[in-house]
Amino acid sequence: MLMRMSKLFLRTLREDPADAEVASHRLLVRAGYIRRAAPGIYSWLPLGLKVLAKVEAVVREEMDAIGAQEVHFPALLPREPYEATGRWTEYGPSLFRLADRKEADYLLAPTHEEMFTLLVKDLYSSYKDLPLALYQIQTKYRDEARPRAGLIRGREFIMKDAYSFDIDEAGLAASYDAQRGAYERIFTRLGLDYVIVSAMSGAMGGSRSEEFLFPCEIGEDTFVRSPGGYAANVEAVHTPSPEPVEASLIAGLPAAEVADTPDTPTIESLVEVANATRPKPDGGAWTGADTLKNVVVTLVSPTGVRSLLVIGLPGDRQVDAKRLEAAVFPAEVEPAGEADLAAHPELVAGYIGPGVLGPNGAPRDDTDGARGAVRYLLDPRVVDGTSWITGANEAGKHVFGLVAGRDFTADGVIDVAEVREGDPAPDGSGPLELARGIEIGHIFALGQKFAKALDLKVLDSGGKAVTVTMGSYGIGVSRVLAAIAENTCDDKGLSWPVGVAPAHVHVLATGKDEAVFTTAQGLADELVAAGIEVLYDDRVKVSAGVKFADSELLGLPFALVVGRGLADGVVEVRTRATGEREELAPEVAVARLRDLLASASA
């Protein structure tokens, strides 16, 4: 393959696009790989499409290698199957919905569990047909509230989604492991570091799910890991509850007392006033951890119903927005608005306490929270017998020594407080370390959720109809491409691994000398004859400086510069990733590049 820059549909940009915050996004646009068509929706230009095809090929090969069979479903799908599983509603505003000319409802599929389930139901009927693994590489749609970072969070994107079908849990475990292994090989081949973490299942349901994260500062996912090998998405971290205090001990605790704490709407101000006015009985100082903070949020159900929720948690912790979102799925979270709060005058901002919340408040009509006490959920740390400073539901007043279980109760537990560096791992494997990452793969042991909803059964060896057990396995192909770019780029531009580069060698003819162009063309032809993919910068009237800058921006693994040195019998080979440069005779350049490519691909 020989591409000529003089003909290539490409314009590199010197300026960063205004909307690009992360390096891969900036550089993929500047280097002319992709172009924004609408928010979160991108066009692929020739070089980008070549990289995409190579990433897809790696994914396809590894899927085929574990016996998964490729199929291809439509993106435009009828409502009914998604209605049957509840996801037509559950997806809320993230689902692109439309009606056809006959007013029949359709959607643009964000994922295809329903369709795969129905297809297998349509074709297969016996345990002998299983196990089965199917996959597709296909365009998916999700109407993200906040598309960002270019290909990393798009609204139209390319995904490999695979599905396994087994007769039982043991079969699912084997299918799951096979996919997990293929994912490890895929990301290794793509040169992407990855961490496998326990994850929340979200819309998928199911018994077990793991994410493959590419560790990276700009990642949207936070994950934790411990020295002992625990790893989880922060959304999936399960905070252990302390042992509840024994009833006999609770009985001995002093009674709660309301105190004036003027101007203490924040935890900091409250701690300060508390230490100044009511010294801690054990002689130490009050801290935020002694206070019970009650945070009000609004939940919006997929059908648009709004309700308030108060979360009680130790005052030294914040509510983690993503943990909260994951915990209340499929509802969405919004800050409590004035209208929401107006219906609940008992909530005194800055001084909210358990006394008016949940079971402690006015009787509640569950069909409409606004008519009674607001639903109240507690952090797992707030176990029975723990004693707190908390709001007294009156401006300027707090209550001291309010004991959980004795003085108040809640509607349940919610584990959404921030996880901190150094918190203990839930499995006792040591203190947690926090890091960020980009989700590049997600695998789900779905179990029977979809098969049950859509009645996918096969006959077992005894002739009995049994529900099929499924798994689903996704890789964000276009996102993976961005992750590779993010992983390898530097301040000068992109820097592709050999396996996914749009071409292997960038041949640059610099200067005006005709001999330079003749030699460069000859070397380009030789490289192509050797099976090496070449991008040849054959532009005349373009300065060497521009060509070098473009070459670094485009990020092919190697460059072969034919320029001024040619008069002295040398050309230059540059390695993009390391910046190494090597002068050599033109006659040996092709062989040298072949060696470099061979060792880079190894």
- Site of interaction with its own copies (CB under 8 A): 7-11, 32, 35, 37-38, 41-46, 49, 52, 67, 69-78, 93-94, 96-98, 100-101, 106, 108, 115, 119, 122-124, 132, 134, 139, 141, 143, 145, 155-156
> Is 126 or 318 the residue whose CB approaches its own copies more closely?
126
Nearer to its own copies, 121 or 208 (CB): 121
Separation CA 597–CA 577 (nearest Å): 13
Choice between 304 and 363, CB closer to its own copies: 304
CB of 79 or CB of 592, closer to its own copies: 79
User: Nearest approach, Cβ of 408 to its own copies (angstroms)?
Assistant: 39
Closest CA to 294 of 336, 245, 353, 346: 353
Q: How far apart are CA 250 and CA 271, in angstroms?
A: 24
In 315-386, beta strands by DSSP E: 332-335, 375-378
Question: Shortest Cβ distance from residue 529 to its own copies (Å)?
Answer: 18
Cβ at position 122, least distance to its own copies in Å: 7
Nearer to its own copies, 165 or 351 (CB): 165
Q: Provide the pairing of β-strand 558-562 with 505-509.
A: parallel
How far apart are alpha carbons 333 and 337 in whole angstroms? 11
CB of 32 to its own copies, least distance (A): 8
Helix 46-65 × helix 477-488 angle, to 10°: 110
- State the minimum distance, in angstroms, from the CB of residue 67 to its own copies: 7
Q: Are 233 and 254 in contact (CB under 8 A)?
A: no
Verify cis geometry, omega within 30 degrees of 0, for the bond prior to 330. yes
Place of tokens 């560096």: 421
Quote the CA–CA distance of 66 and 135 in Å, as a whole number: 11
Q: What is the dihedral of CA 513, 514, 517, 521, to 10 degrees?
A: -160
Q: How is residue 440 annotated by DSSP?
A: E
Name the minimum Å distance from CB 109 to its own copies: 10
CB closer to its own copies out of 45 and 348: 45
Picking from 433, 439, 430, 431, the residue whose alpha carbon sits closest to that of residue 475 is 439
Q: Which is nearer to its own copies, 140 or 576 (CB)?
A: 140
* Shortest distance, position 48 Cβ to its own copies, whole Å: 8
Q: What DSSP character marks residue 602?
A: -
Phi, psi angle pair for 107, to nearest 5°: -140, 160
**Residue number, 115 or 389, with CB nearest to its own copies:** 115
Can you tell me the distance from the alpha carbon of 55 to that of 521, in angstroms, rounded to the nearest whole number?
29
- Residue 357 has what DSSP assignment? S
Q: What is the closest distance, in whole angstroms, from the C-beta atom of residue 46 to its own copies in the complex?
A: 5
**How many angstroms separate the CA atoms of 176 and 310, rounded?**
38
**What minimum distance in Å lies between the beta carbon of 383 and its own copies?**
40
Nearer to its own copies, 351 or 473 (CB): 473
Which helix (H) or strand (E) element contains residue 537? Answer: strand 534-537
Minimum CB separation of residue 154 from its own copies in Å reads 9
What's the rounded Cα separation, in Å, for the pair 448 and 81? 15
Q: Which is nearer to its own copies, 329 or 418 (CB)?
A: 329
**Which one, 45 or 271, has the nearer CB to its own copies?**
45
Task: Spell out the residues 6+ positions from residue 599 whose beta carbon is closer than 8 angstroms to its own.
Answer: none
CB 377, min distance to its own copies, A: 28
Nearest to 60 by CA among 185, 146, 144: 185
- Report the 3 state secondary structure along 346-402: CCCCCCCCHHHCHHHCCCCCCCCHHHCCCEEEECCCCCCCCEEEEEEEECCEEEEEE
* Maximum separation of any 2 CA atoms in the chain, in Å: 97
